[in-house]
Amino acid sequence: MRVGVVTFPGSLDDRDAQRAVRLAGGTPVPLWHAAHDLEGVEAIVLPGGFSYGDYLRCGAIAAHSPIMAEVIDAANGGMPVLGICNGFQILVEAHLLPGGLIRNDHGDFICRDQRLRVESASTAWTNGFQQGQEITIPLKNGEGGFLADAETLARLEGEGQVVFRYLDVNPNGSVNDIAGIANAGGNVVGLMPHPEHATEPGFGPDTRDAMRSGIDGLTFFTSVLRQTVLA
């Protein structure tokens, strides 16, 4: 099954996302921001990085790039789309997800292994988790403070669209400790932490068993493979 990973000017984690797809058993398909072609993929990852150097606002210019017309159509048609970090910022700027992301409340860039609780296991990208499962994946951002107006927030909480919540510490001032959200259909998911960096033993977060052995992020990618096989 083919999973597209879009590379924008300034994307950094596109190859990590491709590797994660491969480790999960899928076929990664590199997609280019300037093309109007999804090359027949069945799911899409918008990777982390600093597209357009974070000019204007994080993700704002990438959200208007040519391929986003096709990504938005596909997402509205039910195709699974995952936005990681800068990809999450692109999804909110493209209005595929509600709310906004602002500079971390403490003003610092933060990089740490972050514990999260999976609040929804009924999205395309989390169906392999248990509801309430606690996972650890890396977090690295300067503008990860999620916010939304009261009405939007109530809808996200009420409709089960909060997918991940920060545990132990709120690293950026996100409202309600929200680390990731989904659209109403559950096919579009965005989060600030990086599942693609926790997919291969030896290169992930530390666990109680061994240093760098954490692969909690792999389930994102096995989930979407399972989802598309079932669909």
As annotated, the active-site residues are: 85, 194, 196
Does 57 interact with other proteins (rule: CB under 8 A)? yes
Dihedral over alpha carbons 13, 62, 147, 79 (to 10 degrees): -80
Nearer to other proteins, 106 or 231 (CB): 106
Scanning 1-9, 37-45, 78-86, 142-150 for contacts with other proteins by CB under 8 A, the matching segment is 142-150
**Ramachandran angles phi, psi of 82, nearest 5°:** -115, 125
Scanning 1-9, 31-39, 104-112, 209-217 for contacts with other proteins by CB under 8 A, the matching segment is 104-112
Cβ 70 vs Cβ 36: under 8 Å:
yes
The residue assigned the tokens 């996100």 is: 174
Nearer to other proteins, 146 or 220 (CB): 146
When binding is defined by CB under 8 A, the residue of 30, 106, 132, 210 that contacts other proteins is 106
Whole-number Cα distances in Å, 20 to 107, 159, 217, 222, 229: 31, 29, 8, 9, 18
When binding is defined by CB under 8 A, the residue of 9, 10, 160, 173 that contacts other proteins is 173
**Strand, coil or helix: what is 114?**
strand
When binding is defined by CB under 8 A, the residue of 40, 77, 107, 158 that contacts other proteins is 107
Nearer to other proteins, 20 or 61 (CB): 61
Tally DSSP H helices, then E strands, for the chain.
Answer: 5, 11
Query: Judged by CB under 8 A, how many residues of this single chain contact other proteins?
Result: 21
Nearer to other proteins, 106 or 132 (CB): 106
Q: What is the rounded end-to-end Cα distance, in angstroms, of the chain?
A: 12
**Around Cβ 167, how many Cβ atoms within 10 Å?**
15
Does 100 interact with other proteins (rule: CB under 8 A)? yes
Residues 128, 115: Cα–Cα separation, whole Å:
18
Does 22 interact with other proteins (rule: CB under 8 A)? no
Residues 175, 185: Cα–Cα separation, whole Å:
22
Half-sphere exposure of 190 (CA within 13 A, CB side): 27
Does 103 interact with other proteins (rule: CB under 8 A)? yes
Site for other proteins in 190-229 (CB under 8 A): none
Cβ 98 vs Cβ 85: under 8 Å:
no
Does 148 interact with other proteins (rule: CB under 8 A)? yes
Does 69 interact with other proteins (rule: CB under 8 A)? no
Nearer to other proteins, 32 or 55 (CB): 55
Q: Which residues bind other proteins (CB under 8 A)?
A: 56-57, 60, 64, 92-93, 98-107, 145, 147-149, 173
